[in-house]
């Protein structure tokens, strides 16, 4: 695991903090490599229902370009480096539990890649966003580009990728790159509040809903046997029984 990625758990909410302030939380090869193992820990911890990913003054300024001359040198090195980055991003995106990004400061390049792998993105008013492969002679990874297009549409995806310009939080909200924008001083509290809401809901619904949405964005057009099994599991779950009974009793459900 990387010393610059800190995973903590408080009740049903896990928090992954990107902690490399001297580099504006730029992601090193070691940090990308650590993400799958960290996500596996979150996945296997049955007490954890929600993950929040955050930075400090900055969410992440992107990949650590100072490593590119060595670790990303040549076609083979570039391919291997890209595979490590994609494995880290994919580990976040495929987590069965909901993931909230609490975005402060710079959210650029690889930082934006991490944010787009999250299910919900909350941003501070002074945050800035950009994806800058056009400044480096790199073509952005297919799946990461797909997530960008799904969030903002093809026209804005082209502007963001082709111009490599930064956009402000208000623009990010307007185009759908983030869900909410808050004063920087209020962002952590809002992320904690939303995480608590998600953790309080029926987890068969939360995780099932995320799975169905992901299947739709992956191109599924009709229900298949996997979805039928998912629906069947919800019908017979203790949470379904509790939700119905709580409604009849006129009380909050205890999930």
Q: What is the pLDDT of residues 194-210, one digit of tens each?
A: 999 999 999 999 999 99
**CATH code of the domain made up of 202-249:** 1.10.12
SS3 128: strand
First to last CA, the chain: 33
74 or 9, which is more confident:
9
Give the pLDDT band of residue 191 (cuts 50, 70, 90). Answer: very high
Give CATH superfamily name and number for 5-198.
2-enoyl-CoA Hydratase; Chain A, domain 1 (3.90.226.10)
The whole-chain average pLDDT of the chain stands at: 95
Contacts of 77 (CB under 8 A, 6+ apart): 71
Where in the chain do CATH 3.90.226.10 domains reside?
Answer: 5-198
Q: Is residue 16 over pLDDT 90?
A: yes
Where in the chain do CATH 1.10.12 domains reside?
Answer: 202-249
**pTM of the full structure:** 0.94
Q: How far apart are CA 223 and CA 228, in angstroms?
A: 7
Q: Are 242 and 255 in contact (CB under 8 A)?
A: yes
Q: What is the pLDDT of residues 115-134, one digit of tens each?
A: 999 999 999 999 999 999 99
Q: What is the pLDDT of residues 143-171, one digit of tens each?
A: 999 999 999 999 999 999 999 999 999 99
**Percentage of residues of the chain with pLDDT beyond 90:** 90
Q: How far apart are CA 106 and CA 109, in angstroms?
A: 10
Q: Is residue 193 over pLDDT 90?
A: yes
């Amino acid at each position: 695991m990387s010393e610059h990625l800190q995973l903590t758990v408080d009740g049903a909410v896990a928090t992954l903090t990107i902690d490399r302030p001297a580099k504006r939380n730029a992601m090193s090869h070691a940090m990308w490599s650590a993400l799958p193992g960290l996500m596996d820990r979150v996945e296997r911890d049955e007490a954890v229902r929600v993950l929040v990913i955050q930075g400090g003054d900055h969410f992440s300024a992107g990949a650590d370009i100072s490593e590119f001359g060595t670790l990303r040198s040549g076609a083979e090195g570039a391919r291997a480096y890209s595979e490590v980055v994609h494995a880290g991003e994919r580990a976040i995106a495929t987590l069965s539990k909901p993931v909230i990004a609490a975005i402060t400061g710079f959210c650029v390049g690889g930082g934006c890649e991490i944010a787009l792998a999250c299910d919900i993105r909350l941003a501070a008013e002074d945050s800035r966003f950009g994806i800058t492969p056009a400044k480096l002679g790199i073509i952005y990874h297919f799946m990461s580009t797909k997530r960008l297009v799904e969030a903002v549409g093809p026209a804005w995806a082209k502007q963001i990728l082709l111009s490599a310009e930064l956009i402000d939080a208000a623009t990010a909200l307007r185009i759908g790159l983030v869900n909410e924008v808050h004063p920087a001083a209020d962002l952590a509290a809002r992320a904690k509040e939303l995480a608590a809401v998600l953790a309080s809901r029926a987890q068969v619904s939360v995780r099932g809903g995320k799975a169905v949405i992901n299947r739709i964005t992956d191109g599924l057009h009709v229900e298949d046997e996997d979805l039928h099994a998912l629906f069947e599991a919800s019908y017979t779950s203790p949470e379904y029984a509790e939700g119905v009974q709580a409604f009849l009793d006129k009380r909050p459900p205890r999930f």
